[in-house]
Chains A and B, each alone.
Chain A
Amino acid sequence: MTLSTRQLPYIGVAILAFIYLASLTGQHMTWVNADHDGTNYIISAKYLRLSHPTGAPLFNLMNAGLIRITPGSDYFALAIWSAVFSGLTAGLLFKMTRNLLVPGVFIGSATVVSQSTIVEAYAIVTFLMVLAYYFHTKDMHRAKYVVLSIGLAIHHLPILLVPPFFAWDYLNGKDKRNVLFVLLALPWYLYVPIFNREPYIWIKGNYFKAYLDYFAAQGGLLGGLAIWPADNLLMRMKDISIITLAGFGAAIPFIFLGMRQRFKDKDWLLPIIFVIPAAYYFTMLTSNAYIYMLPVFAYGSLLLTGGKIYSRIIIAVGIVTLLITNAQAYDIGNNLDPSYASQRFYDQLEELPDNAVVYTDLNGWERGAIWLYNEDSGSNQRSVSKLWISERDRDQRIRDIHYGLSNGVLYRSVDIDQTIKHSHIEPWDPTLEEVDELLGIE
């Protein structure tokens, strides 16, 4: 395939978006990684270990190559690829619409910026989800499911597109067997049993029930947000309103008009796949699921309709203002996490004994840093947090605390400055009552 001059503008948009995001990308480990995800993906890339459920096998294999060929720190070598894939998404959005406002709205969204400058899977997953829709618009229905299968080998989010895509194919007389191509994702998951080994992380052992627990670990999150008492529901309504209003800005009324026009034209697919990931986030138990909103911003920008010149000027001014504001707010290492909180925590671990037990409260990035340090140094440090997912986990953590106490190797992480996530590791000699209180044991 030769590169024609007609494609240069799309490539140019992709490069500009990449440069913008790359300038904000973190150089070292930060806490801004959906808890422990950043350090977890580094472990998987460097040592071919498991990452959190549901495994991200293709992402880990891809990262294993990228971390070895990309210059910079381990963290930067992976984070920069998030910027690459969001840049490609911007270029693809421009190719699909030939309207500069569309990639502008996407890149101007703070949620997109925050997830395109760190080690995460959402930039590449969103690119693949937009690519699948692009193939759909080009009547390449087999290709769209193949692309979704690639996405599903990375994350479960693209599964949300399968029902609406299949419904569209069914109602429009397309070959319904094409949907079977999403099954191409399954062989990639052999990664999990192949690379599950001692010391076990995420999976408790090498037996069937352990694998079942691993793959089902996040099932309870689906639709799990409490409706009553209404505190969490109100919190989620507030969160989703804030990131949507602040992300789309002046484009919101035009996206609404675009949705209305599409429904009038009986072209319901794009509005539906725009809404579904937002509904998914809205009903999920964990607040961390705001990261699932990236496809919403991509599909939402595609819904943008032209409007008159004055409206377009206002949208453009809004985008530029958001780009400047976000460049201030999400410049990792400068304005956001200036001390690289997670890296700073990692460096402190070198001063602890190899068998140290560290109470990390609820800070997942600290737990991830301990796991990475163990892999890097061959140590056996353990983290104990207040959060557990089963009685067995809780009992193990109590045993770890008692081990630390009896061997004089118990430490705890103390927040020095919560606003910038500064913490300091110090020796800890609690009473058993204090331990019970911290771990919530009655």
Chain B
Amino acid sequence: MNFSALNKNELILTVVAGVFAIVAIVLSEAAQDVNAAFAEADRWRHVIVSNKSFLFFFNLVIVGVAGGAIGSRYKERKRVRFGIMIATWGVIWLVGFATFGVTPVPVGN
């Protein structure tokens, strides 16, 4: 093989691809544990039932984004904008408190 035909970027890319090929082989046994669900049944014993889930934070972020989007339409009307900011904070606290005690799924352990 004539690797001198490759420029610097192509050579780096080829080496990186080779490294990933080796990593794939090294991880193949660990991947079998996931892909064949060897560990799955045992994991149910350790499921953390927490209200601090992706969905919980996603809801808060979405309320904030929505409030920000509405507020940005009123850049020239400072009182309205301030009111929207306060209302957004209020809704975030409301959603936070309302769903704080909600578990993602009830699992008996």
Residues on A lying within 8 angstroms of B by beta carbon are: 31-32, 34-35, 110-111, 113-114, 220-229, 231-232, 235, 239, 242-243, 245-254, 257, 283, 285, 287-288, 290, 307-308, 310-311, 314-315, 317-318, 321-322, 325-326, 329-330, 336, 361-364, 386-390, 394, 419, 439-440
Contacts and interface: CB of A to CB of B under 8 A. Distances in A.
Interface of B: 1, 3, 6, 10, 13-14, 16-18, 20-21, 23-25, 27-32, 34-50, 52-58, 104-109
A261 to B, nearest CB: 13
Given A227-B53, A242-B30, A285-B104, A253 B16 contact: yes
Contacts of B108: 386-388, 394, 439-440
A310 B3 contact: yes
A114 B20 contact: no
Contact of A250 (B24, B40, B105): B24
B34 A223 contact: no
Nearest to B53: A224
A231 B48 contact: yes
Contacts of A389: 105-107
A230 B24 CA distance: 26
Given A226-B52, A288-B40, A311-B10, A245 B27 contact: yes
Given A246-B28, A246-B30, A390-B106, A227 B21 contact: no
A224 B38 CA distance: 22
Nearest to A393: B108
Nearest to B48: A226
27 contacts: A110-B28, A110-B31, A110-B32, A111-B31, A221-B104, A222-B55, A223-B104, A224-B104, A225-B53, A226-B49, A228-B50, A232-B50, A243-B31, A243-B34, A245-B20, A246-B24, A249-B20, A249-B21, A249-B23, A253-B16, A254-B17, A257-B13, A287-B39, A287-B40, A326-B28, A330-B36, A394-B108
B16 A227 contact: no
Contacts of A242: 27, 30-31, 34
Given A227-B57, A283-B55, A314-B14, A32 B37 contact: yes
Given A227-B53, A246-B27, A250-B21, A31 B104 contact: no
A436 to B, nearest CB: 12
Given A287-B39, A362-B42, 4 more contacts: A249-B20, A250-B21, A283-B54, A310-B3
Nearest to B49: A226
Contact of B24 (A245, A307, A390): A245
Centre residue among A231, A247, A311, A336 by max chain B CB count within 10 A: A311
A336 B36 contact: yes
B48 A362 contact: no
A20 B25 CA distance: 19
A90 B40 CA distance: 29
Nearest to B26: A246
Contacts of A315: 17, 21
Given A226-B52, A246-B24, A329-B28, A285 B105 contact: yes
B93 to A, nearest CB: 19
B13 A330 contact: no
A308 B6 contact: yes
Nearest to B3: A310
B3 A318 contact: no
B70 to A, nearest CB: 21
Nearest to A308: B10
B55 A223 contact: yes
Contacts of A318: 17, 20-21, 24
A252 B18 CA distance: 10
B46 to A, nearest CB: 7
Nearest to B107: A387
B44 to A, nearest CB: 5
B63 to A, nearest CB: 15
B20 A362 contact: no
Given A226-B49, A253-B17, A314-B21, A114 B105 contact: no
Contacts of A111: 31, 35
A114 B33 CA distance: 11
B42 to A, nearest CB: 8
Contact of B105 (A220, A235, A308): A220
A34 B44 CA distance: 13
Contacts of B31: 110-111, 242-243, 246-247
A239 B6 CA distance: 35
A113 B10 CA distance: 31
A204 B73 CA distance: 51
A248 B24 contact: yes
Nearest to B38: A419
Nearest to B29: A329
A248 B104 CA distance: 32
A110 B35 contact: yes
